[in-house]
Structure 1
């Protein structure tokens, strides 16, 4: 960020155009911190003089509830509740910034749209950032969060927005006075959406009693994961972004929601292709920046905050995921599938952690656990042992992958398509 050395606090008023790709068109990085002097930007996705069309609405910044993190409404606008919060939780490879996030309710559009644009009215001082991000509901679930600067790969009728604030210290806190969104249509771009899987180094989170980036207080033997980008961060008590993590031998697998940001970096969506990846675009897809820094001295061996990288971690695992689901005893290489990049039916684990069996009965061995709220892929179903669970009594067992079955009695909902018999 460019720093302007003067006493008057600059005011930043932004008009942003966003194109959110459910899989994968170019998106720019944070825009609210792009300048420290007063400026007005014309939406880049509009023709000069062309009036905006489509749905228009303003975000309600006055309501903070359970899925919002470290923000508070004030008489002048939305602000961080505690600018020291980042430093307090930054032991080890965690975020070095104070962070806050307001998630607004999903909005159903009056007509299908392929683009969302955001106009932000904010006071932003050096060392602070403000960003509006959006995501869209598809048949296979929510797309990744994107800065309000992208195009949907197909028309959508349901979108959700969030406002993310960061501060370097207590003197650099931004104030968001208003956010206005416009949803309209451009020519549709078709993009493939394969499920992506990469081998990365996993570390154990620990930090029991501390707070995750989505506002969860970490419990002993907790079951969730952390990735070094907010683009795949699930709201509290949801599995909108779920990873499947398997040992390299394939003997144990777990499905866990992404509830925290880290390790090391916070803007490294390394699973995405270069045109979409927020930072470190010159690295191969699937290679975390921390791994490149540790193994080959990339970026001088440092993370985005300038800290010396001490391990090649690309994913963090909560203690229950690490010890109980995967039976790991030390940090290790694992195979990670980023399930929201795939397609097809998904089941929501309504109660867990749920045993993943090798066959359609509780007499079969467990080869892992699916965390509560995880959104798991369902290939097909078979009949087997009748199980009474919190949602139904049934003999249906869902196959998640070859040799992986869970009882349908514990699945609270299925979306993204019809599940057929195996």
Structure 2
């Protein structure tokens, strides 16, 4: 990797000179696909509460503060398009000009099988080289602004070994998000009986209209489950990726893996019983459920403990649900009992497949049924595509 590293590093030097002299809106052509400028002027419906104004990317509405148990501070996010690299590497670095406090540059990497890493701060290495990356720029605080961002993909030092979350399942307290008509952290407008979840860290926030980060959330009895995308950040905290090991956890590194800060604060008086914003924690919630997940998927009647799998931290074949919420059946046919739902866009694990009832769905007519868990099956006619390889027959 010596030659590629020299190539992209020299490209950054050229970008630094150009960025210092040229506004982002008039950036020159980058010297290679591993060095480029962020286009800060192209705002679309993937972006949240940002605007290009008077020569900088800024908060669009300084008065827009999230509702409920989400962060009590104004924020915004610009999501750039995925960027293919000329040379697969494991790190993206960023150089900003005209940046105030409250400007963060984060990225994620896409593996050849289509799966994405978690979002990570620019300058931090991924666990493996990737052929494509995606960058987002996060503004926190009403006055946050940045004029230009230059980016370079390089081969950085490998991260410490053994720090993966490894697909663990944790029992956490779930609350109902509600907030119909509100806007989530990824720009989704919340509908009645909606199907998504919120986690208290942006590291697992899926872009709008995707299930790149999907959870399986089940009742503690295992009688009902739902696969749902992560489309919001909360409750209580915004930097509490409690499903990750302590060494890579954003905050609260002294807590055991799988224990949300809000739970520790509520049950044990951790951090003086307060969240990261100094608010008194009123419940131990580690996940928020949209109404459709809460009432229909899990058939809950009150806030409750649930078992959650953070599916992007594991491995294996994933099927993308193209039309949902889709019934999860106890067997390979529509006459079998419903065991819950798979939401639209959710990426569900396909352990293997069996032959069952013929079903005509939006993606064809087939007798294939995918096993997504013990005693859990979905018709493949509702699966729009897969990542992570090909599933075997059971």
Pair 1:100-2:76 in alignment = yes
Task: Give the distance between the partners of 2:247 and 2:165, measured in 1 at CA.
Answer: 15
Give the conservation status (yes or no) of the 8 Å contact 1:140–1:343: no
Residue 273 (structure 2) aligned to one of 278, 287, 301: 301
Aligned to 2:103: 130
- Give CA deviations for 1:205-244 in whole Å, capped at 9, x if unaligned: 0111111111111111000000000101011111011000
1:34-183 paired onto structure 2 within 5 Å: 55-86=34-65, 89-90=66-67, 92-124=68-100, 128-138=101-111, 139=113, 141-167=115-141, 172-183=142-153
Give the conservation status (yes or no) of the 8 Å contact 1:360–1:406: yes
CA pair 196-53 structure 1, distance change in 2 beyond 3 A: farther
Task: Give the distance between the partners of 1:145 and 1:188, measured in 2 at CA.
Answer: 17
Segment of structure 1 superposing worse, 305-314 or 53-62? 53-62
Task: Give the distance between the partners of 1:266 and 1:304, measured in 2 at CA.
Answer: 8
Aligned to 2:363: 391
User: Once the 2 structures are TM-superposed, how far is the Cα of residue 187 of structure 1 from its aligned partner?
Assistant: 5.1
Pair 1:267-2:239 in alignment = yes
TM-score (norm 2): 0.89
Give the conservation status (yes or no) of the 8 Å contact 2:91–2:154: yes
User: Once the 2 structures are TM-superposed, how far is the Cα of residue 361 of structure 1 from its aligned partner?
Assistant: 0.2
Aligned to 1:36: none
Task: Give the distance between the partners of 1:199 and 1:239, measured in 2 at CA.
Answer: 22
User: Once the 2 structures are TM-superposed, how far is the Cα of residue 54 of structure 1 from its aligned partner?
Assistant: 8.2
Aligned length: 362
Aligned to 2:220: 248
- Moved beyond 6 Å, runs of 4+: none
In structure 2, stretches of 5+ residues that fail to align are 1-30
- Give CA deviations for 1:92-133 in whole Å, capped at 9, x if unaligned: 312101110000010110011122111112331xxx511000
Task: Give the distance between the partners of 1:77 and 1:185, measured in 2 at CA.
Answer: 30
TM-score (norm 1): 0.83
Give the conservation status (yes or no) of the 8 Å contact 1:155–1:188: no
Aligned to 2:296: 324
Task: Give the distance between the partners of 2:56 and 2:180, measured in 1 at CA.
Answer: 33
Pair 1:345-2:317 in alignment = yes
Task: Give the distance between the partners of 2:393 and 2:344, measured in 1 at CA.
Answer: 24
Task: Give the distance between the partners of 2:310 and 2:222, measured in 1 at CA.
Answer: 16
Task: Give the distance between the partners of 1:286 and 1:280, measured in 2 at CA.
Answer: 12
Q: Secondary structure at the match of 2:293?
A: helix
User: Once the 2 structures are TM-superposed, how far is the Cα of residue 53 of structure 1 from its aligned partner?
Assistant: 10
Higher helix proportion: 2
Task: Give the distance between the partners of 2:385 and 2:261, measured in 1 at CA.
Answer: 36
Aligned to 2:12: none
Aligned to 1:284: 256
Give the conservation status (yes or no) of the 8 Å contact 1:195–1:339: yes
In structure 1, stretches of 5+ residues that fail to align are 1-51
- Give CA deviations for 1:158-197 in whole Å, capped at 9, x if unaligned: 0000000011xxxx41221111111111355565562121
User: Once the 2 structures are TM-superposed, how far is the Cα of residue 140 of structure 1 from its aligned partner?
Assistant: 5.9
Residue 338 (structure 2) aligned to one of 338, 358, 366: 366
